[in-house]
Structure 1
Amino acid sequence: MAKARNKRSVTIARHRTSISLEEPFWDALTGMARDDGKSIAGLVSEIDQARTDKGDGTSLSAALRLYVLERMKRGQTGNS
């Protein structure tokens, strides 16, 4: 059974957007933002900018999941 996704609104590039992610991803992003001394919106904005710069058509929610996966692989879990 798939985990339910939670939708949250954040402001990036001066506009509100809704992002739907599973709660474990939100938890990880929250911890990572805290570890980096940033807000969730700030971290999401950085990930969104990198995604836009790549221009590969990756959705924002997919880019966020991939970011969390990459940081966890490097041992930066956001659990401090």
Structure 2
Amino acid sequence: MDKRSLSISGHRTSIALEPEFWAALDAMAAEKSQTMASLIRDIDEVRQTANLSSAVRLAVLAWYQDKAATG
């Protein structure tokens, strides 16, 4: 697990994720021309779970599923 701290909507938070998820977030952010913080802020704003790390993992899964479906 890698733990990183970042600012989201004006407050500091820490997220612990496996390195593979951080790599996927880097790819997602690059594809969307966003910073990592802005991507995680977007995920935070629409999450359906109380746990931000879980919401991030689900967003990564959805991103890969969409890429697989669209080829």
**Which residue in 1 is equivalent to 2:4?**
8
Unaligned runs of at least 5 residues, structure 1: none
How many percent of aligned residue pairs carry the same amino acid?
A: 43
* 2:55 equivalent to 1:63: yes
The Cα offsets for residues 45-71 of structure 1, whole Å up to 9 and x where unpaired, read as 0000001xx4xx430000000000011
Q: How many residues align?
A: 68
| Equivalent in 5, 14, 19 of residue 18 of structure 1 | 14
Unaligned runs of at least 5 residues, structure 2: none
**Quick one: distance in 1 between partners of 2:6 and 2:34?**
14
Please state how far the C-alpha of 1:74 moved relative to its aligned partner.
0.8
User: Which structure is richer in relative contact order (CA contacts within 8 A, separation 6 or more)?
Assistant: 1
**Which residue in 2 is equivalent to 1:28?**
24
- Please give the TM-score of this superposition, normalised by the length of structure 2: 0.90
Q: What is the one-letter code of the residue matched to 2:33? A: G
C-alpha RMSD of matched pairs (Å) = 1.2
